[in-house]
Structure 1
Amino acid sequence: MNFFLEESSLFERKKYFPIVLWWKLTTIIPLRPIEFLTLQRDCVAKKTETIFQITLPRKKQRATLRRDIDITDTLQINKETYELIQEFHNYSSHRAKNKYLFTYDYYKEHKEFFGSESLKETEFLPRRQLDSLLDQFYNNVLIKKYKYNGSEKLTLGDTRHFAFCNMMLQGFNMLSIARIGGHSRLDKQQHYWGHLKYFSESWVYNLVEKHRRLDHLNITIPDAYFTEDIRRVINSYKLNKDEEFENALPVDYGYCLDNNYPNNCSGDCRHCLHYRFHPKKENLNEAINWLTDFSQTLSRKIDEQISLLTYISQTVNYDLESLTYSITDQEELSYTANELNRLLHQKAMIDSKLPKEVKGFKNE
């Protein structure tokens, strides 16, 4: 999405800007598709130079039972989100009289092909049209321009799920999540806890890919014993050459590139930013086992930490009448979430040191 915002033509940017806003908003705020589609044109406000707010199309509800939660419709947002919505205002300024942010007229104005479609007149953009725009974004941008294989596609409601899981992994308590997500009861978010393991694995995978693209890790493995296909894969990664390590400090199965060693040393090279995995060919199997064993240990620790995070969140002392919670419990929840994120970063760093195409080479 960030590449698209940087590289798109003005027409592409205007056409797909509802998709940009859907992604930017609903991956952070757990919005239902209908809530996103019925955002008012004046939904955001600048309160001060640093405080921005968004008003959601939710019906504010007062709790009727002791286990119910007051629903709120106003949340704080960051400056980037505020400015993105202001940019969309500029694209649709001639429709300023319409009370909705997203309109069918705007969609029709940027539509390239018109089929025979019967559509009941509506003031805001119908979901069917936003679904269609998302399909077009996959086909014309992600697949054609960025070579996405198209094997899996998100639906409009998936990002609400992502937002809930992301908030849980960041250490938000259940009461805060419910109020932000529009849940009137705490138990409505219970099923999301069961998806945190898969969500964290996906998060690690994406971070691994980021390390590979941006940090040029996994590119110094000796290729003496590899097949021709595997050697070709590794050569495509190989940006660091042996001569780059001439003045580096030799450590376990590689080199330390930290000029301030040992002042910044964490005690284990495997998840260190300054470490480059570069084993000698006679130690290659041993070196790979050294990495994978620690990766598996971290996987077990991550699972334990997710279970602990779930338990703590569910046992926080909540007062639903006053919409408050125990500060001590929240501090423990935040500490546990920070520890979980530390483990996730460590695992991503370790896993990124082996190109995924050659992880199974020992079995050949």
Structure 2
Amino acid sequence: MLFCPKMYNGITTQTVRQNIGQIKEAIRITRGFRLDHLKHLEDTLNHFGDHKQFAMATSIKEFLIFYNHPHTELYCDLCANYNAKVSNVRELPNFHDILLFDVALDDYFITCTSDEEKLQYYPIFLWWRITRIIPMRPVEFYSLSRDCTMKDDEDRYWMIVPRRKNLSSRPGKLAVTDTIQVNREVFELIEDYKRLTLAYATESSYLISYKAYRKYVKLKSKEITREKIGASQFINMIDRFYDEIVTAKYGDLERIKPGDTRHFAFCNMMLQGFNMLTIARMGGHSQLETQLHYHKHLDHFAQSFVHHAAQMLRMKRVNLWRSNWDVATQGIIAKSRIYQISDFQETHKVEHGFCTDHPSRCQVGDCRFCEFYFFSPEDKQKGLAWLKDCSDALESRLKEQLELIRYVTKSTNYDCATLTYQHTSQERLSSASNELRRLMDQKAMVDSYLLEDEL
């Protein structure tokens, strides 16, 4: 009866046969879903590609929920780590809400007065700091070894990521790297977390301590012994942080999911000029083409960055950011705090405003891109039109630059067997990325003046 609804819902008989085959394979691997064979299933799934992981994990979950197996909860929790269908483009949360989460998390750890406070949400802090830099799957983060970092003789820091090994010898398949260089901050954060969880070190070989997590959670049912936290526990931790910390300060925000940071990391690397081969190896992709769907996020990511940077520049000018900023009342406060031209010691008349530095020291050229420019037009409409024309022109150039980055990225010749690429193309990609960042900075500055007019 399990597969009858699938037939009626238009699922083909071939798909049903595949589902049954996957369930049979899981039963064989786990000896009938025995508890002591849970790790065997995880190891098997980690050897598969993303698409097969998703398909098999979905089939297993559906079967176990239907069958009501005594170990359904543990096996479904494992399968939840593979519930992201790679072919679909992930809908990322609102960029502004992402940034407020970042601010709330930083504020929480800055104001922590005890190790107990810090430990409660430390796994979230580690996840946020690490997986936005290294494109890591949630299951890889949960599976980090307690000894995942090391320092070499040259004072470089490294992290070992538990990536699935690529056993295929098919042409075009990449050898996945599991050792990635990290900065000192990441290394020291992990060392600090290990210090706080030292009492639990003998009970598990994993970095993220399930026992430490359990200190702050009340279970409705009998506790199940686990070696590490899984998707359900980590999502629960994120939800508690939103409920107890974020919502009280900023209201209801669109919530970030564990897999979102992997997308942030890919987009950041693309905007910084990393080539497809480097990104694929750092992200654990065995095929270059897998990362192409992340390109669809680039426009939104760049636009969101510009809008946020423009807001921050405006708030900096009115001296509000951090000290007095209140999201709900920022407009009212800002109107009473905007500078007057008399507030500056040195002013020089320029187009539609004043230079608050000496023009002889100018290194920008166009006043609209300069932090020392004070927008104060004699004719407001002409001044705003002057800014708007520049903003629109920069918008067009940004889109062209993003298209150039996509084109250079895709047209570069990569040799997957030797892990090499054209250095001339990498130079072109780096140059295009630098120009993109320059345009983003310029547009943010221009838009910050336009935002002031909206107050």
Is the CA contact 2:388–2:450 (under 8 Å) kept in the aligned structure 1? no
| Structure with max Cα Rg | 2
Are residues 342 and 62 of structure 1, via their aligned partners in 2, closer, same or farther at CA, if it must alter by over 3 Å? farther
| Equivalent position amino acid for 2:430 in 1 | S
Which residue among 157, 180, 189 is the counterpart of 1:84?
189
Distance in 2 (CA, whole Å) between partners of 1:323 and 1:172 is 14
**1:109 partnered with 2:215:** yes
Query: What is the alpha-carbon root mean square deviation over aligned residues?
Result: 2.2
| Equivalent position amino acid for 1:90 in 2 | R
CA deviation vs aligned residue, 1:236-294 (integer Å, no higher than 9, x gap): 442x23312463111122211224x23333221111122122223xx111111111211
| Equivalent position amino acid for 2:412 in 1 | V
Residue 155 of structure 1 corresponds to which residue in structure 2?
A: 257
CA deviation vs aligned residue, 1:179-233 (integer Å, no higher than 9, x gap): 00000000101111111101111111222232233343899xxxxxxxxx99946
Number of equivalences? 342
1:52 Cα deviation from its structure 2 partner: 0.0
Residue 272 of structure 1 corresponds to which residue in structure 2?
A: 370
* Greater alpha carbon shift after TM alignment, 185-194 vs 210-219: 210-219
**1:178 partnered with 2:280:** yes
Q: Which runs of 5+ in 1 are unaligned?
A: 220-228
Which residue among 347, 350, 371 is the counterpart of 1:248?
347
Look up the SS of the partner of 2:315 in the other structure: helix
Look up the SS of the partner of 1:196 in the other structure: helix
Are residues 354 and 130 of structure 1, via their aligned partners in 2, closer, same or farther at CA, if it must alter by over 3 Å? same
Q: What is the 5 A alignment of 1:24-103?
A: 24-48=129-153, 50-62=155-167, 64-97=169-202, 98-103=204-209
Are residues 230 and 211 of structure 1, via their aligned partners in 2, closer, same or farther at CA, if it must alter by over 3 Å? closer
Residue 132 of structure 1 corresponds to which residue in structure 2?
A: 236
Is the CA contact 1:218–1:355 (under 8 Å) kept in the aligned structure 2? no
Distance in 2 (CA, whole Å) between partners of 1:88 and 1:231 is 40
Distance in 1 (CA, whole Å) between partners of 2:353 and 2:154 is 49
Q: What is the 5 A alignment of 1:1-364?
A: 1-10=105-114, 11-48=116-153, 50-62=155-167, 64-97=169-202, 98-111=204-217, 114-117=218-221, 120-144=224-248, 147-216=249-318, 232=332, 234-238=334-338, 240-245=339-344, 247-259=346-358, 261-280=359-378, 283-355=379-451, 358-359=453-454
Distance in 2 (CA, whole Å) between partners of 1:218 and 1:204 is 19
* Greater alpha carbon shift after TM alignment, 315-324 vs 209-218: 209-218
Are residues 242 and 275 of structure 1, via their aligned partners in 2, closer, same or farther at CA, if it must alter by over 3 Å? closer
CA deviation vs aligned residue, 1:132-151 (integer Å, no higher than 9, x gap): 1111111222222xx22323
The one of the two structures with greater contact order (alpha-carbon pairs below 8 A, sep at least 6) is 1
1:158 Cα deviation from its structure 2 partner: 0.5
Distance in 1 (CA, whole Å) between partners of 2:449 and 2:319 is 6
Is the CA contact 2:318–2:334 (under 8 Å) kept in the aligned structure 1? no
Is the CA contact 1:205–1:348 (under 8 Å) kept in the aligned structure 2? yes
Look up the SS of the partner of 1:194 in the other structure: helix
Distance in 1 (CA, whole Å) between partners of 2:154 and 2:107 is 28
| Equivalent position amino acid for 1:273 in 2 | E
1:34 Cα deviation from its structure 2 partner: 0.5
Distance in 2 (CA, whole Å) between partners of 1:289 and 1:151 is 34
Look up the SS of the partner of 1:337 in the other structure: helix
When you count helix as a share of all residues, which structure comes out higher? 2
Distance in 2 (CA, whole Å) between partners of 1:251 and 1:48 is 56
Distance in 2 (CA, whole Å) between partners of 1:194 and 1:154 is 19
- Identity across matched positions, percent: 37
| Equivalent position amino acid for 2:209 in 1 | T
Residue 23 of structure 2 corresponds to which residue in structure 1?
A: none
Please, what TM-score do these two structures have when normalized by structure 2?
0.71
Is the CA contact 1:211–1:217 (under 8 Å) kept in the aligned structure 2? no
1:354 Cα deviation from its structure 2 partner: 3.2
1:2 Cα deviation from its structure 2 partner: 2.7
Distance in 1 (CA, whole Å) between partners of 2:167 and 2:189 is 32
Please, what TM-score do these two structures have when normalized by structure 1?
0.88
